[in-house]
Amino acid sequence: MNKKIISPSILAADFSNLQAVCELINQSEAEWIHLDVMDGVFVNNISFGFPVLEAVRKHCRKMMDVHIMIVHPEKYVTRFAKAGAEMLTFHFEAAENPQKIIDQIHEEGMKAGITINPDVPVKVLEPFLNQVDMVLLMSVFAGYGGQPFIEETYERMDELKKMMELKKATCLLEVDGGVNLENAPKLFSHGANVLVAGSSIFKAENPLEIIQQMKNC
């Protein structure tokens, strides 16, 4: 059985008290914290950048899982490392030379993740499966929290898992977007190792309980 990792996305949390959000995650069964950096160019939304990551680093003891939705990711790898990122996941679509970025991320001592939007064929990831530490399959189009889960994700996961088997790849599989208590069991059974969840955790009355249920589903 896969190890089940929950990575709460703070995009849906209350930014007026970031320290409390970090403390809640510290107390929870989530092993990671998911941080969505958006630049208003790669996606039609702007979220937050280095100062927020540094503030989270100060208060959060969990693994910093940073998902960058930005153009020219290669320019900022060192800055993300300095800001406390431990897993840095960039978009294949935004990368001129994905292998070079993977190498840069590793040189900075971070784990490297690669991700694609739901309309990009899974096949494009094949050359990188033995190079990355994680593949993130987006189950909504990157840019906003609170969107509905795209059901075709399960088929994409199966296709990716087959490719990984053929290549004997051991990278983790993360799924991000519209994840909730209803679809979490099916996502784990299709091979997800890490589930990102924003709205379903932070818009709930009791986020700790949702994390606990998701982790033990």
Q: Which residues bind ligand DX5 (CB under 6 A)?
A: 9, 11-12, 34, 36, 67, 140, 142-147, 176-179, 196-200
Rounded CA-CA distance 69/54 in Å is: 18
Q: Does 39 bind Zn ion (CB under 5 A)?
A: no
The size of the interface with Zn ion (CB under 5 A), counted in residues, is 3
Answer with the entry of Zn ion, ligand DX5, none that 195 interacts with (C-beta below 5 to 8 A by kind).
Answer: none
The residues, ordered by sequence, that sit 6+ positions from 110 with a Cβ below 8 Å of its Cβ are 77, 80, 81, 85, 86, 87, 88
| Shortest Å distance, C-beta 105 to ligand DX5 | 18
Mark the segment that binds Zn ion (CB under 5 A) among 126-134, 148-156, 170-178, 199-207.
Answer: 170-178
Rounded CA-CA distance 159/137 in Å is: 11
Tell me whether residue 147 is exposed, middle or buried, using C-beta atoms within 10 angstroms of its C-beta: 0 to 12, 13 to 18, 19 or more: middle
Rounded CA-CA distance 73/168 in Å is: 28
Nearer to Zn ion, 67 or 190 (CB): 67
Nearer to Zn ion, 69 or 77 (CB): 69
How many C-beta neighbours within 10 Å does residue 51 have?
A: 9
From the candidates 14, 36, 119, 133, give the one annotated as an active-site residue.
36
Nearer to Zn ion, 68 or 77 (CB): 68
Answer with the entry of ligand DX5, Zn ion, none that 8 interacts with (C-beta below 5 to 8 A by kind).
Answer: none
**119 is known as an active-site residue:** no
- Order of strands across the sheet that contains 194-197: 5-8, 194-197, 172-176, 134-138, 111-116, 87-91, 63-69, 32-38
Nearer to ligand DX5, 127 or 146 (CB): 146
Q: Does 174 bind Zn ion (CB under 5 A)?
A: no
Beta strands 32-38 and 5-8: pairing type?
unpaired
**65 is known as an active-site residue:** no
**Helix or strand or coil: residue 146?**
coil
Please compute Rg for the chain using Cα positions: 16
Contact pick of 4, 21, 32, 36 for Zn ion (by CB under 5 A): 36
From the candidates 39, 65, 133, 176, give the one annotated as an active-site residue.
176
Measured from each CB, the residue nearest to ligand DX5 is 198
| Shortest Å distance, C-beta 112 to Zn ion | 16
Q: Does 176 bind Zn ion (CB under 5 A)?
A: yes
Catalytic residues: 36, 176
